[in-house]
Amino acid sequence: MAGRSHQPNALKRREVPLSRSPTDDRRAHHRLSHSSSVGGSSRAHQTILVEDRISAQHREIQTLIYDNQRLAASHVALKQELAAADQELRHLSATAAKVKAERDAEVREVYEKSLKMDAEVRAMDAMMAELVQVRADIQKLSTVKQELTAELQAVRDGLTKASSDSQPLPPIKGEIDRMHHEIQRGRAAIEYEKRTHASNLEQSEAMEKGMVSMSQEVEKLHAELANAEKRARAASAVTSPFPGYAATYGHPDMRYSGSSYPSDPYGMHQVQGGAGVDTYARAPSTHGPPYHVQPAPPHTQ
């Protein structure tokens, strides 16, 4: 840069002074007048050729100086453009790192939500298994109720036949009263079972509604997780200067494979009961303990 306005030494040597002293003029005139008789015309021709050559070299040097200055200006402009491009690249790298951190946080949050929902779904599966056991117990109680009703009807038929065959006696009256009392207790037990059955049905309906809402929420979270992974891969592919970055984006443990729960909540678990094994413990009820029907003593006449 400092040598742009510097003039080469060759030009300085070729410069002709503008003014001359009178002595030099007289000497030059004497030399010219003395040499004009010998070969003035040939020397003048050589002088003209030398001056033309010097002029051509001077023009060439000026052209080279101009080209050098132009190349120096282009070099400075290119350095400035390179610095600007480098700064923009650093800015893009910082932006890409920030976007990657945000996407990682979003994917991690969705993943944690999905894990929480899976735990809740597993808890609902346990509740559904318990509900299946409750329904099996209700079915058994219904069968027992039918048997007790048949026995009660048989007792009534026997009492009717006995009352028609013989005159009622005090022991028979006491037995009849006791049977009426047992009938009342049986009716109370039947009413208690009805209330328990209705309560269990309400609980099962509420659990089914909860399962449906939980399934919808899980599907929604799966869709959000897939969209977040697609956006993160697209952002990393656009901002990263390396082509292999998008393929290895994110930790493989953060990827979520999706849910494999069946759509039928009642088909998840099948309870298999065995002899002597009770798989359901009934919670205490506010209606009081169930009534136990005691068998009647043998009738004596």
Q: What is the pLDDT of residues 156-195, one digit of tens each?
A: 888 888 777 665 566 777 888 888 888 998 889 899 988 8
What's residue 168's pLDDT? 54
Residue (of 201, 198, 218) closest to 124 by Cα position: 218
What's residue 10's pLDDT? 42
Q: Is 299:175 a contact under the CB 8 Å cutoff?
A: yes
Rounded-to-integer distance, Cα 260 and Cα 252, Å: 19
Amino acid at 2: A
What's residue 44's pLDDT? 82
What's residue 89's pLDDT? 93
Question: What confidence category does residue 58 fall into, taking pLDDT thresholds of 50, 70 and 90?
Answer: very high
Q: Give the CB-side neighbour count of residue 151, counting CA atoms within 13 A.
A: 14
Percent of the chain with pLDDT over 90: 27
What's residue 6's pLDDT? 45
Amino acid at 232: A
Q: Which is higher by pLDDT, 116 or 280?
A: 116
What's residue 280's pLDDT? 38
Q: What φ, ψ does residue 290 adopt, rounded to 5°?
A: -65, 150
Rounded-to-integer distance, Cα 133 and Cα 66, Å: 100
What's residue 157's pLDDT? 87
Q: Tell whether pTM > 0.85.
A: no
What's residue 2's pLDDT? 42
What's residue 254's pLDDT? 45
Average predicted confidence (pLDDT) for the chain? 73
Under 8 Å CB-to-CB from 99, ≥6 apart: which residues?
235, 236, 239
What's residue 248's pLDDT? 46
Q: For the segment 11-33, what is each residue's pLDDT rounded down to a tens digit?
A: 444 443 334 444 444 554 545 45
Q: Which is higher by pLDDT, 272 or 48?
A: 48
* Rounded (5°) CA angle 188-189-193: 115
Q: What is the 3-state secondary structure (H, E, C) of the chain?
A: CCCCCCCCHHHHHHCCCCCCCHHHHHHHHHHHHHHHHHHHHHHHHHHHHHHHHHHHHHHHHHHHHHHHHHHHHHHHHHHHHHHHHHHHHHHHHHHHHHHHHHHHHHHHHHHHHHHHHHHHHHHHHHHHHHHHHHHHHHHHHHHHHHHHHHHHHHHHHHHHHHHHHCCCCHHHHHHHHHHHHHHHHHHHHHHHHHHHHHHHHHHHHHHHHHHHHHHHHHHHHHHHHHHHHHHHHHHHHHHCCCCCCCCCCCCHHHCCCCCCCCCCHHHCCCCCCCCCCCCCCCCCCCCCCCCCCCCCCCCCC
Rounded-to-integer distance, Cα 222 and Cα 256, Å: 8
CA dist list (Å): 14 to 20, 21, 59, 145, 286: 16, 19, 13, 135, 125
Q: For the segment 229-270, what is each residue's pLDDT rounded down to a tens digit?
A: 898 888 888 775 554 444 444 444 444 444 444 444 444 343
What's residue 238's pLDDT? 78
Distance from chain centroid for Cα 225: 3
What's residue 77's pLDDT? 93
Question: What confidence category does residue 57 fall into, taking pLDDT thresholds of 50, 70 and 90?
Answer: very high
Q: Is 103:32 a contact under the CB 8 Å cutoff?
A: no
Q: For the segment 65-123, what is each residue's pLDDT rounded down to a tens digit?
A: 999 999 999 999 999 999 999 999 999 999 999 999 999 999 999 999 999 999 999 89
Q: Pull the structure tokens for residue 148.
A: 């007790």
